[in-house]
Amino acid sequence: MSIRVETDKDTGVAVVTLDRPARHNAIDLAMAEELGRVWRAFRYDDSVRAAVVTGAGARAFCTGIDRGAEVPQPSSPYTIDDPLLTIGPKANDLWKPVVAAVRGLACGGAFYLLGEAEFVIAAEDAEFFDPHTTYGMVSAYESVYMAMRMPFGEVARMALMGTAERVSARRAYETGLVSEVTPPGDEVAAAVRCAAVVASYPTEAVQGTVRALWSAKEAARAQALAHAPHLIALGNLPPEQQAGLFANGRGGGGGGYRVR
């Protein structure tokens, strides 16, 4: 199992941990399916009134799709199979609040999870970046999710700079992606404290508030995401060329990066 779930029945808080630290908690197909099952199960579990999602280890929250995962694609240019589309709570019709606790790297496909959390708490050593353009891929879904949380210019810079630049926890806080910054190692406890407060309130009112918040931007998000498959089909380099860029260890700025 690549997902750990620990539920405190007294507080009503479940902690969902991506548990592949040796792979920087990158998501393979089995893990993607497992995450979906976890969120759907919470819909029927009245003992869970709020959740925290985090990553195992100190190096990474999540680094997106595992590069070793093989995802067969249909031949039609109008469709795309993306296993990450169903890893988030909202994609699984869960309207119980979810707080993300981030330490270390959070990049690429990690934004599918961060984009569907109510808010994000990050350790001081957290770093956010989007590597897609560096490796000849369109940042479509990721950019849409982040555009719902951050100013346009900040999202554009992160998406277009690729691996040349990483956004620090402090900068993420300044731009609204992160709501609280903690010392390294304290991020999960801080997220659990927040989740426990929310879980102590009447759950119908909490879930209704979550649903109201998301309805404020749901139409714009759905419309934007509808364009993503076509943009990816048109803009992505062929897989073999992408693999070549990865194999060469390509990075921005002559192989280095800066943290801001």
Range of the domain at 136: 3-185
- Encode pLDDT of 175-227 as tens digits: 999 999 999 999 999 999 999 999 999 999 999 999 999 998 888 878 888 88
Quick one: pLDDT at residue 180? Answer: 98
pLDDT given at position 66: 85
* 18 neighbors 64 (Cβ within 8 angstroms): no
pLDDT confidence bin for 252, thresholds 50/70/90: low
Spatial CB neighbours of 208, under 8 Å, sequence gap ≥ 6: none
Instruction: Please check whether residue 216 lies inside any domain of the structure.
Output: no
The answer to whether position 221 is within a domain reads no
- Cα-to-chain-centroid distance, residue 200: 26
The secondary element (H helix, E strand) that includes residue 6 is strand 3-8
What is residue 257's predicted lDDT score, i.e. its pLDDT?
Answer: 84
Residue 247 domain-assigned? no
CATH code of the domain in which 34 resides: 3.90.226.10
**CA distance linking residue 151 with residue 160, whole number of Å:** 14
Q: Is residue 168 part of a domain?
A: yes
DSSP state of 160: H
The reply to whether 140 falls in a domain is yes
Residue with tokens 């093989």: 70
Rounded Cα–Cα distance for residues 214 and 113 (Å): 15
Residue 190 lies in a domain: no
What pLDDT shows up at residue 189?
Answer: 98
Question: How does pLDDT run across 19-48, given as a tens digit for each residue?
Answer: 999 999 999 999 999 999 999 999 999 999
CA distance 206 to 209: 5
Give the sign of the dihedral formed by CA 220, CA 33, CA 136, CA 142: positive
Burial 133-164 (b: 16+ CB within 10 A, else e): bbbbbbbbbbbbbbbbbbeeebbebbbebbbb
- Which residue is listed with tokens 């199992």? 1
Residue 51 forms part of a structural domain: yes
State how many domains the chain has.
Answer: 1
